[in-house]
Structure 1
């Protein structure tokens, strides 16, 4: 019996409006499943700064499947070989870090498309993406089953943001204030006025290009500021940060010597 493809993140954005989500960085399918049932709209399963390989990514995609949440996967880089493997695993929604130029963005579009429009290797008969060729017409329709998001994280990317947003095949742009702050010489100061101004500049440029724009904002006041600025999707927490802060609060409640200094979660 032919199978259907799940709804893409881009389709969710178009149909449902703003999407609020969280990071899943633990590498645990159990934690991913707990987060998937939280009521949030989407999860970012991260492999750039988290202990995730192909096997753990596969297990997490399987764990969240069937929940009303969109999984987006972030690889450590835009390496076409790695992207091919992620796509074959069944990752439909990709967020690529550190995209600074429209040329890089165009290369990523080619990396996620089959020839003649791209360079993705053909292995659908072996791959979960096509449910082992149980999805009719997968090879010819694969690009319609994917969402490609690129991340704006440097001064160079901010300067090129309009051109990056204009690349056909880029479905949305996501702003990373932490790396952007570092690129601006303001390491650890993602709420600095200059960083906030750069983020809001990018939001305006991306919205003007007609593309969805997202941002990372763990502080509620910052998140609400960017919501007011018009972001379409955002991340407001992380599994590991919730566990770290929650366990520290528990220790501070019952152990008088526990370190109760406030710590940043991002």
Structure 2
């Protein structure tokens, strides 16, 4: 039996996924048929509309590929839409303190002041899953990832990590670099911040995720407790593959 993503995160299994930047169900379907552990549809930085998300989530579900949606903001309606479409969970950008962590966790889960209920959604199997079963299944499977990418979030990281409704802290090193006014994601101040986030996540029993620009970094961060790696993207695969093809054909015989 396939272990749900939420349980694999809690167990700190090594998980490897990629970003999907192209609003295409076909791209999602192609990548869903690979050996990756999950996909993340980037609705924050790529031009996904509701129809695009709907089709891409459906493609992933058809191949039993766990799929997260990086929502454009922490607005409850964006979280609700992604989860009603049947996404496994959400990645929420710019979570800066314990209060905002609690707010996004509440918006992703059913309960007082939380996610609004609709039995007609794909998540509820279009009314075929009855309310008690759907509530229980959602509670057991919905993944909430807080993206930590601001200097103020690092200062509040222990409070953020203590929020029980979160499954994972995802380190956004590029935005941390911008926030700190650093030259790059490899700047010592960014690395120190990432290390603090790792320590807070481990201390609170939260999984920690990261994008790294160089795969050679993976062992180091794995040693510091990072278990979720969302690496490269469909765009990267296209660019690299096209460049490799052209180089191979033009290489001297």
Same fold by TM-score greater than 0.5: yes
Aligned equivalent of 2:118: 123
Distance 1:211 1:19 in 2: 14
2:216 equivalent to 1:221: yes
Aligned equivalent of 2:8: 12
Conserved? CA contact 1:114–1:139, under 8 Å: no
| Greater CA drift, 149-158 or 215-224 | 215-224
Residues 182, 16 of structure 1: alpha-carbon distance in 2 compared, 3 angstrom cutoff: closer
TM-score after normalising by structure 1? 0.86
Within the candidate set 175, 196, 201, 1:206 is matched to 201
Within the candidate set 126, 129, 146, 1:132 is matched to 126
Within the candidate set 23, 30, 34, 1:27 is matched to 23
Q: CA deviation at 1:72?
A: 1.1
Q: CA deviation at 1:163?
A: 0.6
1:79-109, CA deviations, whole angstroms, 9 ceiling, x for partnerless residues? Answer: 0122222221112311101100111111112
Conserved? CA contact 2:5–2:141, under 8 Å: no
Listed as ranges, the gaps of 5+ residues in structure 2 are none
SS at match of 1:128: coil
Aligned equivalent of 2:69: 73
Aligned length: 248
Q: How does 1:1-266 map to 2 (within 5 A)?
A: 8-14=4-10, 17-67=13-63, 69-116=65-112, 118-124=113-119, 126-136=120-130, 137-138=132-133, 140-141=135-136, 142-187=138-183, 189-252=184-247
Q: CA deviation at 1:225?
A: 1.8
Listed as ranges, the gaps of 5+ residues in structure 1 are 1-5, 257-266
Conserved? CA contact 1:151–1:175, under 8 Å: yes
